Structure 1
Amino acid sequence: MDTTTRAMPAFLPDGSVEVPGFTLPVSDLVSAQAAAMQRLRAEMPAFDAAGEDGDIAARRAQINAYMAPQIERLRAAFPVSIVRSVIGGVEVLDVTPAEGGHDPHRVLINLHGGAFCVGWDGVALVEAIPIASLGRIRVISVNYRMAPEHRHPAGVEDVAAVYRALLEDYAPGRIGIYGGSAGGALTAQAAAWLVAHDLPQVGAIGVFGAGGVPFGTGESAYVTGYTDASFPPPPADGSAPVDITYGYFAGCDARDPSAWPGWHPDILAHFPPALIITGTRAMDLSPAIFTHSQLLKAGVRSSLIVGEGMGHCYHYQLDLPEGRDAVEAIVRFFRENLT
């Protein structure tokens, strides 16, 4: 290749960069399975993660139908008992290993993904089943209130209600909270909410596919809008992006500490040990990196895993070695940090 004639980025006076068109090859650092999946995307229909359809009931049904085959595979590979229940006045799924023998002294609260408007209970089961089985631990997945029926802080209020009820049976240091995507952001919100409302802090949190600042902040939303395309990049004309949360944060300031604690070092200083997982092709890469850095600056023990060539919430994909590695890291993290 003649490097003297290749297209070069143009650096503009305002600091922006005009990036020339280029072809991004499959990374030679990913597993053979992940490389094969990347090649298959040429033949796969795109999944509309933005979900601009205004019919939320149809959207929720679509997501659950999309997740159903994966849940069937997970239940075959990871036998669990699933009981629908109510804890603290909130509907939950109580997930435990099918053959019993789970840790009676520790529990995890799972907050499902789904852009604060969908994901119950399809995404919830994808997140809870393997963790409960591999971790030999009880997982309580929370049906927190979502948009368009509700607004922030409805979801975190429900998480706090479940947590308060679980404190009757578990020490706070033996309770963990984790979630992916919206559930990852909600996990960070919950850690901040507990501090603000004089509740004891949990033992550890897992923020996956998210951070403590809004989705769309930082560079990764722009870059991965073209390298992954699961989520559209921010509009080039500077107009407001499509609100995939169906207005969940309507009226909420973008730096509200109850919604986005990553901006507030004084709040982060009270966080428990955190595990943050993202990918190089994930739109949440920048929020995750920023949150990790801010936690370290605040003196909090934080661990960051960035999956090479991986997209948003790749830990859902247990058929990939990278996804299985991420789930096993999650299990180890909570085993080591729930005292």
Structure 2
Amino acid sequence: MNRIFPLLLLAAGIAPAASAQEVKAPWPDFLSAEAKAGLSVDAARQPEPATMEGRRERSEAIQREVGLPRLARHGVVMKDDVIAGIPVRIFTPRNVTAKGPVLLNLHGGGFMVDSGSITENADVAALTGYRVVAVRYRLAPEHPFPAASDDALAVYRALLKDHDPRRIGLYGTSAGAILSAELVARLRAEKLPQPAALGFFSGAADLSKLGDSIALFADRAAVSGLLQFYSGGRKLDDPLLSPKRGDLAGWPATLCVASSRDFLMSDTAEFCRALDDAGVPAQLTLFDGLPHAFWAYIDAPESDAAFKTMARFFTARLGGKP
């Protein structure tokens, strides 16, 4: 298991069980040398700070440590800005077109820190040629559900003023995947135009019934505790929190991505299957031998392959650079 998940539990004041940490084999030999090196660097990082403020500062430092070289490598310009009163990061690739599609990103980080607003987006912007808007939504536990959803909705509404929804894509990793699916459910409930494509990357769409891979790579009780922090007392089977429990007919075309040592592998696959059962164009891509959300913090050929898969999906659905 990588350090991202323990960080999220620690941020919530929850310690992962030792048994969950021990249920793992050595990283497989077939992983690239770069992936093995990245996993080793991640495992060797210093212990996390004791306070929430310190953890958030540490997460932002890691975003810049990993993300800024990616921006430079791809020639993508990042700008901190505000849209509809919400802080955002806007990523503009060198090959962007003025009236091209736009992507909305909701970053990962267990709802409590920002572990993806740079690293999830530099490659996607470069490979698609699209502008990417990353929402820096309010964080739990100070701001539980629906604060993050409200922020995402406000930015999406603003994008609708200048973009045909058929030219808008939405995606997120981990907590951001959960939020992305919740945003689609919110749009459908409020009868607003939904995006043309959803990237659901290592997430869960039924928070009331977590899948089997959590038992292999995490601690189910700890994850449930984290979700209670996020939900703010709302019942977890509410379709606005758990969209898989709602009507999925007519849902946007969805790409689901996970990995075989991902504690949310089961939940990602089950949501993809539910979408397929509902007649929604849904594709599942699984990377072997890698941990949760590896593309967000490891520079390796496997991460490059994940981002290429994501970019191909969006350009196929929204048009533009192949």
Q: Which bracket does the TM-score occupy, shorter chain normalised?
A: 0.7 to 0.9
CA–CA separation in structure 2 for the residues paired with 1:185 and 1:72: 26
- The reply to whether residue 61 of structure 1 matches residue 62 of structure 2 is no
Larger radius of gyration: 1
Contact 2:76 2:125 in 1 (8 A): yes
User: 1:9: which partner in 2?
Assistant: none
Q: 2:107 aligns with which of 106, 112, 122?
A: 112
| 1:197-212 alignment, distance < 5 Å | 197-212=190-205
Inter-partner Cα distance in structure 2 for 1:66 and 1:22: 27
Say which of 205, 227, 230 aligns to 1:248. Answer: 230
Q: How does 1:1-339 map to 2 (within 5 A)?
A: 24-35=25-36, 40=40, 44-45=44-45, 53=50, 55-97=51-93, 99-102=94-97, 104-119=99-114, 123-214=116-207, 217-225=210-218, 233-235=219-221, 243-244=225-226, 247-264=229-246, 266=247, 268-317=248-297, 319-338=299-318
**Which amino acid is the alignment partner of residue 68 of structure 2?**
E
Bigger RCO of structures 1 and 2 (CA < 8 A, at least 6 apart): 2
What is the letter of the counterpart of residue 196 of structure 1? A
Q: CA deviation at 1:128?
A: 1.7
CA 1:216–1:330 in 2, change beyond 3 Å: closer, same or farther? same
Shift of 1:103: 5.9
Deviation at residue 217 of structure 1 after TM alignment: 1.1
Change (3 A) 1:261 1:242: closer
Give identity over the alignment, percent: 33
2:11 counterpart residue number: none
Deviation at residue 34 of structure 1 after TM alignment: 3.1
Whole-angstrom distance in 2 between the partners of 1:36 and 1:126:
18
- Does structure 2 conserve the Cα–Cα contact (< 8 Å) formed by 1:95 and 1:132? yes
Deviation sequence 1:216-241 (CA, Å, 0-9, x none):
8111111113xxxxxxx235xxxx65
What do residues 66-121 of structure 1 show as CA deviations (whole Å, max 9, x unaligned)? Answer: 33321232122122222222222222112101x354362200001111111110xx
1:26, distance to aligned residue in structure 2 (A): 3.6
Q: Which deviations, in whole Å up to 9, do the C-alpha atoms of 1:248-271 show, x marking residues without a partner?
A: 21212121100111123x2x2131
Q: Is the 8 A contact 1:117 1:246 kept in 2?
A: no
Q: Which moved more, 1:329-338 or 1:139-148?
A: 139-148
Q: CA RMSD in A?
A: 2.7
Letter in 2 for 1:249: S
**One-letter amino acid of the counterpart of residue 116, structure 2:** V
Deviation (angstroms), 1:213 = 1.9
2 CA distance for matches of 1:42 and 1:92? 27
8 A contact 2:172–2:180 mirrored in 1: yes
Q: Compute the TM-score of the two structures, normalised by the length of structure 2.
A: 0.84
| Residue segments in structure 1 that go unaligned for 5+ positions in a row | 1-20, 226-232
Cα deviation digits, residues 268-302 of structure 1 (max 9, x gap)? 21310001111111111111011011111111111
Choose 181-190 or 245-254, whichever is displaced more: 245-254
Aligned 8 A contact 1:109 1:176 in 2: yes
Closer, same or farther in 2 for the Cα pair 1:263/1:79, shift >3 Å? same
Call closer, same or farther: CA 1:135–1:178 in 2, change over 3 Å.
same
Q: Is the 8 A contact 1:276 1:302 kept in 2?
A: yes
SS at match of 2:225: coil
Q: 1:151 to 1:66 in 2, by over 3 A?
A: same
Q: Which amino acid aligns with 1:31?
A: S
Q: Against the structure 1 CA distance between its residues 110 and 41, is the aligned structure 2 distance closer, same or farther, given a 3 Å change threshold? A: closer
What SS does the aligned partner of 2:103 have?
strand
Q: How many residues align?
A: 300
1:151 and 1:321 mapped to 2: Cα distance? 36
Q: Is the 8 A contact 1:318 1:324 kept in 2?
A: no
**Matched residue of 1:278: which SS?**
strand
Q: Is the Cα–Cα contact under 8 Å of residues 35 and 298 in structure 2 kept in the other structure?
A: no
Q: Could you tell me how far apart the structure 2 residues matched to 1:271 and 1:31 are?
A: 36
**Residues 1:241 and 1:163: Cα distance change in structure 2 (over 3 Å):** closer
Structure 1 residue ranges, 4+ long, deviating more than 4 angstroms after superposition: 35-38, 45-48
Deviation at 1:154, TM superposition (A): 1.4
CA distance in 1, matches of 2:70, 2:187: 32
Residue 215 (structure 1) shift: 8.8
Q: Judge conservation of contact 1:207–1:277 (CA < 8 Å) in 2.
A: yes
The answer (yes or no) to whether the contact 1:214–1:287 under 8 Å persists in 2 is no
Give how far 1:136 is off: 0.9
